[in-house]
Amino acid sequence: MHINISTLLDVAIGLIFIFFVFSIFVSGIVELVNTLLEQRAKLLRIALDKLLGPLANDFFNHQLTKVKQERFWGFLKPINYLSADSFSTVLIDLLVKAGGPVPGKLVSTQKTLKAIQLAIQQPNHQLIRELIEPILSKADDFQTFKYELEKWYNGYMEQVSGWFKRYAQGVVWIVAAVVTLLLNVDTIYLTNRLFNDNGLRERLVEKAVNTTQNGGKSFSKDTKFGEYLHKYDFTLVQADSSNPKAFVIKSDLTAADSIIVQSTYIRFVQDQVADLKLPIGWDFTSGKSPLQPGQSVWLALLGWVLTAAALSFGAPFWFDLLLKLVNIRNTARRPPGNPDPAN
């Protein structure tokens, strides 16, 4: 069978478009899993426990910390983000109270620094002393001390963010593998079908071209999904200020509402996948092999691994690659003497 460059390009575009759509599906599930497991909040707690030691419980029970918690079905959710200003304000307040009254005639900021120095000398504040003493040694006044403390905290939170990214990447791999196997998304089989099924190839290329033209908005949470969500629960969306006929997700959703939005988004992308009519899935009703017609179990093993690996790269990676290939395709098919179709 003769295969020209144009066909190869269309097959590549179709396959990458499949990876793009399923990567969005995977990312939606990962986002929901991370929200339900509260892993970001757990890592923040571990990080501050490691930093503050016995003072950590007082820190999280402080009113200025507790006020940032959300209620979720009657329970208080642990906080998953704390700004540098909030961290320094609460910690300084705790240390000043632990330091006790400061004798002598000092201005308020000097008394604050003195109280902090007294507090960190206490035996149960050894861990926090290791943090505070180096900062105090290079701070001439209270504002400098607060600035240096917040600067150090921001650097520490970057490290914590690295912990979360490594955890999240592991979750992505797990979800990608589960989605691949549950839906039988076999890269090798799909590639073979794209080569041999002109209708499937043309349909996917058309969808891919349309998706690149609208910047991927067909699958984003702020365009078509707004309409989809409005039909499901209109209280979760509001009119778009730039387009009154469109809907966008509200910015002040509760934790429970956010979970509803994320789970609805997964169904939205799932519907988009179903509309593509891809040769995927299992057939357990025929009494024969549940694989797709012509799908080899041994090649499928490799195909599943390739799919799971591809989905772990994420939707932005595949969209950028898709955009480049569509541009190459458009350039190759442009009539001679008309370098710019807009002219």
The better pLDDT of the pair 291, 109 is held by 291
User: Which of 167, 179, 166 lies closest to 309 in space, CA to CA?
Assistant: 179
Quote the Cα angle for 281-287-289, to 5°.
50
Please give the structure tokens belonging to residue 323: 């955009």
Question: What mean pLDDT is predicted for residues 94-98?
Answer: 86
Q: Across all residues in the chain, what is the average pLDDT?
A: 85
Q: Is pLDDT at 22 greater than 90 in this prediction?
A: yes
CA-wise closest residue to 94 among 70, 120, 75: 120
Average pLDDT in the 106-128 region?
78
Share of the chain above pLDDT 70, in %: 90
Helix or strand (DSSP H, E) at 63? helix 63-66
How many helical (H) and strand (E) elements, i.e. helices and strands, does the chain have?
14, 4
pLDDT digits (tens, 9 = 90+) for 238-288: 887 777 677 888 877 777 778 888 888 888 888 888 888 999 999 887 767
CA dihedral 13, 17, 20, 24 (to 10 degrees): 170
pLDDT number for residue 235: 82
- Encode pLDDT of 58-88 as tens digits: 898 888 888 877 766 556 677 888 899 999 9
Structure tokens at 210: 């349309």
CA dist 99 and 108 (Å) reads 14
**Per-residue pLDDT reduced to its tens digit, 120-142:** 888 887 888 888 889 888 888 88
Main-chain phi, psi angles of 238, to 5 degrees:
-140, 165
The residue length of the chain stands at 343
d(CA 176, CA 22): 9
- As a whole number of angstroms, the distance between CA 27 and CA 315 comes to 8
- Give yes or no for residue 14 having a pLDDT over 90: yes
Output the CA torsion 307→310→316→317 (10° steps). Answer: -140
Mean pLDDT of 220-242: 78
Delimit the domains of the chain by residue range.
5-18+186-329, 39-159
pLDDT tens digit sequence for 161-200 = 988 889 989 999 999 999 999 999 999 999 999 999 999 9
pLDDT tens digits, 293-332: 888 889 999 999 999 999 999 999 999 999 999 998 888 7
